[in-house]
Amino acid sequence: MNRRSLIQAAAGVAASSWLNPSASSAGELSGKIRKAIKYPNIKEPALSITDKFRLVQDTGFDGVELRYTHMKEEKAFNAAREATGLPIHGLVNSANTDIRGALEFCAAVGGEGILITAPYDRTQPLMHSWKERQDLVRDAVETAERLKVKILVENVWAGFLISAFDAVKFVDEVGSPWFGVYFDVGNNARFGVPEHWIEILGPRIGKLDIKEWDENLHRNEGLRAGFSKELGEGTIDWAAVRAALKKIGYSGWATLEVGDADRVRMADLSARMDRILDLA
């Protein structure tokens, strides 16, 4: 076989492994990270909840994450979970102040953690927002412990908790093993280096959100343009992120958050998650 044929053969193997992750050996984080998708991002309107759960499985995801706005559909989501065996790993509660209610709903559908955010009321001193959100968490940690559901604060673009050390202090001051961090890799790239934050946050990280970031687009085309690149094609050093996750011994869920996706796009994004997180 000549050199050109060897190169073509190698390219064919690489393409096959990318399109069919099961064709390659298990990755270094396989069995440690389970990948999920945000339920509202599943855009197949003709499908029932149960059929959407089957689609999640068919496209290679291990679970799904709901929003607090789904509370009225608890019965339907539990029926879908029981029919398919697909885990509902958690709930996005965002800035909703009813943390206890979110914990109750999360537990009722088999979840293990809720995502909250820490808003910054710019009309008040900074410590007002800091203490107000901490007090809400403190009021709910007893419920979290009873239900065995963690409260996890996400690093969002609120102009608040923009340092890893701030996040550590914010969590540690509450002082509960049921309160930690929901680390968003893509959000973090605006304020810092994801792998550095991971090492500092360490065991406080309870779950991960996954999306891409491109610093060049951010600088040249505007703030949110940084999210425009496909997974694995931006400026996040995913190899370094994996190394940091491995270093802290992370084991848990990683949830895709890149906007709406139909069946074809879900399959593509699932394969991309396998690649950037080395899951297959």
pLDDT in tens, 90-107: 999 999 999 999 999 999
Tell whether pTM > 0.85: yes
pLDDT averaged over every residue in the chain:
91
Domains of the chain: 26-277 (3.20.20.150)
- 146/129 Cα distance (integer angstroms): 27
- 54/52 Cα distance (integer angstroms): 5
CA distances from residue 201 to 108, 132, 170, 196, 249 in whole angstroms, order as listed: 29, 22, 11, 9, 12
- Dihedral sign for Cα atoms in the order 184, 101, 260, 64: positive
DSSP 7-32: HHHHHHHHHHHHH-GGGSPPPTTBTT
Q: Where residue 17 falls among pLDDT bands split at 50, 70, 90?
A: very low
| Burial class of residue 23 in the structure, from the number of CB atoms within 10 Å of its CB (0-12 exposed, 13-18 middle, 19+ buried) | exposed
pLDDT in tens, 221-247: 988 898 999 999 999 999 999 999 999
- Most confident among 11-15, 26-30, 204-208, 256-260 (mean pLDDT): 204-208
Residue 179 confidence (pLDDT) above 80: yes
Q: Residue 25's pLDDT is what? A: 59
CA distances from residue 199 to 125, 235, 244 in whole angstroms, order as listed: 30, 19, 6
Instruction: Record the tokens describing residue 240, joined without a space.
Output: 């370094």
Q: Residue 233's pLDDT is what? A: 97
Residues 174-189 have a mean pLDDT of 97
Residue 74 confidence (pLDDT) above 60: yes
